[in-house]
Structure 1
């Protein structure tokens, strides 16, 4: 990104993002090369670095991102921040890791049908290839198919045979009794054994509760992804926090023309669960939004306007993501 772009941003534009790790970043392209969403992975990662961020988790609805993550990390090795970047003041605490080290991109795998679905062997192979996060099925989940989710509608445009394929491959995470299925438990066990983090994908509320409960049982790091898609009562989210799961709040639905959520809905949910149990992400990949770092900046600035402190925001964008990834804070 050009120096002119950075210079046009407000003074102190990056002050709330130092050390931040966005654990839900969609690359370019994601669902289709015909649906461009922003610049190249490297260019946008450079922008994130200039904002003071320390890393991403790169996610794809279709393919593993381990190779892309490694390539972007290597492309940014040794770069320096532009003079327009505002470093945190000494009064705000110690200098963040992002101010002194490079930018890391963590690879992930989403257990949708193209990679084999709910298969512990797939998790093992992904880990051997450098993956750090496993996302449970998104469009490949029976719950998401039942609601004809947004990604399904996008994939339908590029794959004429998609509906038949997805219907044949869709998987539920729970058995008829409501218990987490054997295969889902085996996936979770593989993540725990290999030190990977697990995110719930597009699971139903009941499935997400079952994943969080099993994660608590085996000591697995679990992130409940975009839970406001599934409940209008933020108080229900306390159950996940009480089980030790982190809850993700992303700003993609706040920016979507078909979205029904506002930033005050996120504020209310955060008030219910507390900053110590929350992670703020972007999850954006549409033409009508800025690149991810600017989306995250907008998000945290709005929350700061609503009263969330810099310390609380740092917990949600830096400390808790590191905890989720199993990295030292």
Structure 2
């Protein structure tokens, strides 16, 4: 039987317009659809800008909907820029993402900051690849500075499009610097795909791992539904976070996609209590919200 409600659920990783990429919904359309579906909220992610101001405007228009902004450390905000991080956190950003389109791993995988599955609507200058590691494989000093800011704000440090090797170092350094909330971004997605054994290792160090609907979609698929479910069973629902990563113009809207994803997992044998843990309770804990009623 399909899920009857999305009450309490939060999509912690979602895209909307305006954007440099074609999007299926605007910010306002996403918020209206989420509220109508009974969702608790979402976190806006944009590869090109901090979304704190956009989230603030949505909260004013949609009282009761938990909408939060984030910042991605691509070149558009100065790369690994502690000034951008500090200001974003002071203004309420809940997630600081390591580089995505500017990441060394992303540029090597796609041959540039674009994606094969979607193209920017504006011209993008060639970007020097960003790594969190120096030529000797050591963390850059600025990474410590950024993680210290995240720790002080009790915000979420997310891995972005780092390589598996970088992500492992990222989690270790974040823990050492006192970051309590660490999120490994879509580790099943092709561009930064990592073995489940490494995902399990990182969760045992205290990180959460995203389980993303995008990894099952045509043009992006890098894992089967059976493999995704098996990884959830191995890791356990306590350290998995469901998200769509939707917003792409050729996909269902993020809210419709979230519902599809939940029902797909339910049909594949994932217990409803697990879905609520991964899609409602874990995101709430990461965002510092009261635990939802199941």
On whether the aligned pair clears a TM of 0.5, the verdict is yes
Map of 2:14 onto structure 1: 25
Map of 1:174 onto structure 2: 133
Q: Shift in Å at residue 208 of structure 1?
A: 0.7
| Structure 1 residues 184-263: aligned runs within 5 Å | 184-220=143-179, 221-229=181-189, 230-231=192-193, 233-263=195-225
Q: Shift in Å at residue 285 of structure 1?
A: 2.4
Q: Supply the distance in 1 between the matched residues of 2:75 and 2:158 (Cα, whole angstroms).
A: 17
- 1:191 to 1:31, Cα distance in 2 relative to 1, 3 A: same
Q: Shift in Å at residue 179 of structure 1?
A: 2.9
Map of 2:79 onto structure 1: 117
| Aligned-residue CA RMSD (Å) | 2.0
Q: Shift in Å at residue 13 of structure 1?
A: 4.8
- Identify which of 26, 30, 41 aligns with 1:55: 41
Q: Shift in Å at residue 195 of structure 1?
A: 1.9
Q: Shift in Å at residue 260 of structure 1?
A: 3.2
- 134-143 or 215-224: which moved more? 215-224
Q: Supply the distance in 2 between the matched residues of 1:322 and 1:108 (Cα, whole angstroms).
A: 15
- 144-153 or 20-29: which moved more? 144-153
Q: Supply the distance in 2 between the matched residues of 1:197 and 1:239 (Cα, whole angstroms).
A: 19
Q: Which has the larger radius of gyration?
A: 1
For structure 1, the 5+ residue unaligned runs are: 1-10, 78-101
Q: Supply the distance in 1 between the matched residues of 2:228 and 2:15 (Cα, whole angstroms).
A: 21
Map of 1:277 onto structure 2: 239
Specify the SS of the correspondent of 1:56: strand
Preserved contact between residue 212 and residue 245 of structure 1 (Cα < 8 Å): yes
Deviations 1:248-299 (A, max 9, x none): 0111131233523222221121122111010000111222211111111111
Q: Shift in Å at residue 44 of structure 1?
A: 2.0
- 1:155 to 1:39, Cα distance in 2 relative to 1, 3 A: closer
TM-score, normalised via structure 1 length: 0.81
Q: Supply the distance in 1 between the matched residues of 2:52 and 2:34 (Cα, whole angstroms).
A: 19
- Identify which of 93, 110, 117 aligns with 1:148: 110
- 1:208 to 1:180, Cα distance in 2 relative to 1, 3 A: same
Preserved contact between residue 139 and residue 149 of structure 1 (Cα < 8 Å): no
Residue 125 of structure 2 corresponds to residue 162 of structure 1 = yes
Residue 253 of structure 2 corresponds to residue 294 of structure 1 = no
- 1:205 to 1:232, Cα distance in 2 relative to 1, 3 A: closer
- 239-248 or 180-189: which moved more? 180-189
TM-score, normalised via structure 2 length: 0.91
Residue 60 of structure 2 corresponds to residue 74 of structure 1 = yes
For structure 2, the 5+ residue unaligned runs are: none
